[in-house]
Copies of this chain bind each other. A is one copy, B any other.
């Protein structure tokens, strides 16, 4: 199994509902350093599957839809807590949709699974991974 990983980041404000969140119920924010792993069992004749240039651009475009936002005001998250886990899943779903829509071409169609990790500090991260 081959894996290609690329890194980017985004910066958001949000708050959480539920006593379990303690002080994180107040409006605060985070930088998420994002690692995306694309996986495939084979390479094409060029010696790769997903082209790292377009893959990086697609990731950057998707993170741009979250960057510099207050997620409490985003319709996509209405009624939900935007935990690191939920955001990892959101980036996964949007990347999967882009790949399914052909945005990464033949290389994208070779992607069998994705793992999206959001690093929120030097001591914590959350990931979502799944098959396409």
CB of A4 closer than 8 Å to a CB of B: yes
Query: Bound complex: CA of A122 vs CA of B56, how far in Å?
Result: 13
B8–A123 touching, CB < 8 Å = yes
Residue of A32, A80, A120, A121 with most partner-chain B CB within 10 A: A121
The 8 Å CB contact of A30, one of B21, B29, B43, B128, is B29
Chain A 1-50 residues near chain B, CB threshold 8 A: 1-9, 11-14, 16, 18, 20-24, 26-33, 43, 46-49
Number of A interface residues at 8 Å Cβ cutoff, please give it: 62
A47–B129 touching, CB < 8 Å = no
Q: How far is the CB of A55 from chain B (nearest CB, A)?
A: 9
B1–A47 touching, CB < 8 Å = no
A30–B9 touching, CB < 8 Å = no
The 8 Å CB contact of A28, one of B29, B80, B82, is B29
A83–B3 touching, CB < 8 Å = no
Query: Bound complex: CA of A9 vs CA of B121, how far in Å?
Result: 7
CB of A99 closer than 8 Å to a CB of B: no
Binary contact track A102-132/B, C-beta < 8 Å → 1, others 0: 0000000000000001001111111111100
Which 7 residue pairs are nearest across A and B when measured between Cβ atoms?
A29-B29, A13-B13, A47-B81, A13-B29, A47-B83, A3-B127, A7-B123
